[in-house]
Every structure is written in structure tokens, then in C-alpha cells.
Structure 1
Amino acid sequence: MQYITLPVSIIYANKDMINQRLDNFIRKKYKKIPNSMIYRIIRTGKIRINKKRIKPSYKLKLGDILKIPPIKILKNKNNILFSSNQAKMLTDSIIYEDNDLLIINKPAGIAVHGGSGLSFGIIEYFRKLRPLEKFLELVHRIDRETSGVLMLAKKRSALISLHQQLRAQKIKKTYIALVHGLWPKKLNRIFQPLSKIKLNNTKKKVFVSDSGKPSETFFKIKKQFDSSTLLSIFPKTGRTHQIRVHTSYIGHPIFFDERYGNNNFDQNIKYKNNTTRLLLHATEINFIHPKTNHAICIKSPLDKTFTAYLKNMI
């Protein structure tokens, strides 16, 4: 028999968990581990509720926060095979969570969902990491190559509310990108319609077209270097690859954009710097919380690769 170790789990007690004994709850969650292990990890304080040690007989209350240590379970065909390092990376990427929302700082290079030849993406991984979440859905998407803020809804009501805000353009996103060339100081808005086609039934290609959908992006120069510009970018619409196509269309593609960039520029840069990831990051999102109606601003820091590259530019 083969075993795998599940990563640390954080569980927010919902109404379906109220008044369940802790030991019974753990027994239902991990059906194939022995009772002796359950009582040992509770007794030794490895399972915490609201950061406190607790007895097996404790009855769960609405809003309790359970922290469960890594658990070894029997491997089966439904287990997603990913390493403990991958699990830790995804867990560490969480920048905000409550009973309604899970918001992460998505690493570059990971798709948000399976498809186009990929078995799993962010949403599939988190569903496995959070097996007790009855509802977990993407609120929006960002490109596989792009890093930064990504929202997941833990309740259908939250998803509906946030989708309404998206349609009303009430959710405001801010991106940071490094583009080739010196961005014109008076160019703070691009309004060009975009169309989308499929290539080889898998990849999508987006291009400016008079018959496309209205697409609007705003720009602000953060810093200019000798032959490149760091931009703050504010998309008003949310078309596929919108930022990447708009910047490329006016002759200032984003660094290391294999689909819309300038290969000649990038090849020279790759030789000088050990960086090839798309230098586009979703750095901030503003929205109204679906439960509290409070204005929320979530910021996601740049990763080490992007930060190190910018330091090399100075």
C-alpha cells in the first residue's frame, strides 16, 4: 500500500458543522486513519481551534477556525499527485480568507483551471487541499503566465455578488508590467476593440479588430529606465489578454511575452538576465465585500523573480 501526506488544512466551521464533536468530525473527514492517531494528534495539541488546544469532546461552533496538521492517508486514484513543496507554495500564497472568500497571490506559470491539455489548475488544487469546502469557484481569471491577485468564492451567494460587481465594472484591478521602450508620457489610455480566435483548438490568440469587443485600458508611468518602462495598468474592461495585446499593439510589448512580445528584444535580455517569466503582475484589487458590504482593498506583493529583475535594472 502507498500513502501520501496531505498538507496543513485550515477549516472555517460552517452551519453544517455546528455541535459536532471534534473527534467525530475528524473521523468523518479522514475515514481511513486509526482512532488512535486521531486522539493522539488532538491530545498533543497538533489540532488547534482558534489557535488553542482543545479536547476531543469539544463541540464545534459557527466561525471556529480549525488548524489540522499534515495527515498521512492511503493513496487512491482520485488523489492529485503534487509534492509537499507545491502544497506549501499554494498554502503560502493565501493573502486573505474568511467564510466567503479565498484570495491568493497566484504564482506565475500555473493555470487557474484545468483544460487545454492541463489536468489541473489552481481551482482543482484548492478543492483537493480543502476537501470540506462544499463550494469553491473562481470569481475571475488571470493568464497562466501572469502572477498576482486571484479571488475564489467559498459560497454561491458571494460568487453571484462579485459577478454582479464585475459586470457593473465596480471591481477595480491594478497591474504592474515592465514593457520594452520608453512609454509616451501623454499615452494614458488605449481604447481598441479586441477579437479572439483559436489556434490548433487549444491556444487562443487575441488581436485588435474593428469588429471586436470594446476594450479599454488606462496606464500610468511608475519608472522609466534606459530602454524600458515600468507601468501601473488599470483595465476598465476584462477581455482575454487585453493588457498584453494593447501594449504590444502600440509597440511596447511586455517583457518575455512569448505570444504577443518581441522575440528579438527578449532574446538579448535573456542572455543578460536569468529571467524568462512574463513580467506582468496583478498587484491590487478593490471590491465590495459580498457579506459585510465594506470596501475591501487586497494587495499582492511582487515575487522574488520580478523584484530581482527590477533591482537589476537600476
Structure 2
Amino acid sequence: MAVHKPSGLMVHREYRGQREDALVQWLRDDLGQHVNPVHRIDRSTSGIVLFALDSGTSRVLCEQFQQHDVRKTYLAVVRGYTDETGTMDTPMNGKDGGPKREAFTDYSCLATTEIPHPVGPYPSARYSLVRVHPKTGRWHQIRRHFNYISHPVVGDTTHGDVEHNRFYRSHFGLHRLLLTAVSLTCKHPVTGDEMTIRTTLDDDLANLFRQFNWPVDMDTLVGVQERLGGAGSP
């Protein structure tokens, strides 16, 4: 089962007794049965999350994620003009520290905009819309990688740019991370056939894209999916 998680909602509670809402609890209450998230995305990130309704399906899907056999596509709005394409490969440690591990993130720039409004020391503000394919799954990987190359994701209060975050809150009314998981390709847990799941843009992101004259249709934004095991797959 695939669900579109809104920005600001955690996938599941992080410790016993935590009272904040979580997607797992919502689904359990709605369906009246146990559900297993087979992966997770950050609380601040919106988009596709896969759930299994039984332990066998959960095991098969979790294995695909652990072996990096799942192709994930994200969209992000980042500060500045990025290169047309790129691969970010700075190693990363985890949330609690520890040794650094390999981390790879591919991206391509889909569109740019320049806003005639001073932000920080510059007389105007430039932004890029990027399509992102993380090849590994480190903590805050996409957000940290773009920060490392001086193109932080807009709305990132942990790794981002305070001035640009403030500008988007005041000018566009956006109080969120501009990162969303829009497509996921994996193998069906029963048939083994390749399947691609897509979602639509959040309304607030679609409204922003229209203001920038950026595309909002998913065929343009997601593009042609590469087959699992083909060029560019993990």
C-alpha cells in the first residue's frame, strides 16, 4: 500500500509514550489492522511511503530497500543555480554520529528562476528545481548533500539557509521543507514484476511552481523512469 505523507507528519513515533500524530497510527486507526512501513522519509519531507499489510510482504519489500534495489525520485527547490546534472558523493555519518559511510545522490536541474527581491547580501534571489535520485539512504542525505555543494534545500531548518527560509515564509507563506518524494520503482512483492508508483504535487508546491512558470505535470517532472538494474540504478 502506498500513501502520500504530508510534510510535518512523522512516519511513526520515535519512542514509547510519544503523543504526536504519526502516519502509522493514522493508518492503523483507519484500516483497523496492523501496518508495517517498509521504509521511511523525514518528517519534513512529503511524498510516497510504502506500507505492507503482512510480515511476508514487509520482509520482501524491506529487502529491496536494504539492497538499494528501489529507484526513488524526489523533487526539491534549492538555493542558487545548480549544474545541469551532477552526482554528490560526500560520505556521511548517521544521526548519532559514528563512522562515515558511502553516500551517493544524482540530480538534474529541471528549471530555474530569479526573483527581483534582495535576500541576504544579494539584490535578487535565484532558485533551481531539481530532480533527485538518492542511491543510498543515509540520514538527511539529500538535504546534507545539497548543503555541502552550497545549494541548500529551501525550508530546511537544520541544514539550510535561514535568510531564504524566512523569505519563503514571509513572501510565499510556505512554512515547510521544499522536498517531496514523487516516484518509486520496485518489484512487486508477489509477482516480481517491476512497478512504478507516482504521486501528485502537494497543492502548496504546485502553486509555487505555477508562480515560477515551472512545470507541474508529473510526466515532465519525473521523466522517463530507468528500469531497475539499468543505467543509473544503484
How far off its partner does 1:140 sit?
A: 0.3
Q: Distance in 1 between matches of 2:52 and 2:14?
A: 20
Q: Which has the larger radius of gyration?
A: 1
Asked if structure 1 preserves the Cα contact closer than 8 Å seen for 2:7 and 2:43, the reply is: yes
AA paired with 2:105? T
For the pair 1:192 / 2:80, whether they are aligned, the reply is: no
Q: 1:252 matched to which residue of 2? A: 151
Pairing of 1:47-62 with structure 2 (within 5 A):
none
Q: Distance in 1 between matches of 2:178 and 2:68?
A: 25
How far off its partner does 1:195 sit?
A: 1.4
Deviations 1:238-259 (A, max 9, x none): 1111000000111000111111
How far off its partner does 1:236 sit?
A: 0.3
How far off its partner does 1:136 sit?
A: 1.4
Pairing of 1:84-163 with structure 2 (within 5 A):
102-115=1-14, 117-131=18-32, 133=33, 135-163=34-62
Q: Distance in 1 between matches of 2:26 and 2:170?
A: 34
Q: Distance in 2 between matches of 1:299 and 1:258?
A: 27
Q: What TM-score, normalized to structure 2?
A: 0.81
Q: Unpaired runs of 5+ in structure 2?
A: 115-125, 214-234
For the pair 1:298 / 2:197, whether they are aligned, the reply is: yes
3-state SS in 2 of match to 1:188: strand
Q: Distance in 1 between matches of 2:6 and 2:21?
A: 15
AA paired with 1:224? T
For the pair 1:268 / 2:156, whether they are aligned, the reply is: no
Q: 1:183 matched to which residue of 2? A: 82
Deviations 1:121-180 (A, max 9, x none): 11111111112x3x4100100011111010000111111111111122111100000000
How far off its partner does 1:191 sit?
A: 0.5
* Count of aligned positions: 200
Q: What TM-score, normalized to structure 1?
A: 0.61
Q: Distance in 1 between matches of 2:76 and 2:200?
A: 13
How far off its partner does 1:291 sit?
A: 0.9
Q: Distance in 1 between matches of 2:194 and 2:154?
A: 33
Q: CA, structure 1 residues 304+197, in 2 after alignment: closer, same or farther (shift >3 Å)?
A: closer
Asked if structure 2 preserves the Cα contact closer than 8 Å seen for 1:275 and 1:309, the reply is: no
Q: 1:311 matched to which residue of 2? A: 210
Q: Distance in 2 between matches of 1:308 and 1:257?
A: 19
Asked if structure 1 preserves the Cα contact closer than 8 Å seen for 2:95 and 2:139, the reply is: no
AA paired with 2:23? I
Q: 2:222 matched to which residue of 1? A: none
How far off its partner does 1:197 sit?
A: 4.2
3-state SS in 2 of match to 1:261: coil
Aligned identity (percent) is 27
- Runs of 4+ off more than 2 Å: 115-120, 268-271
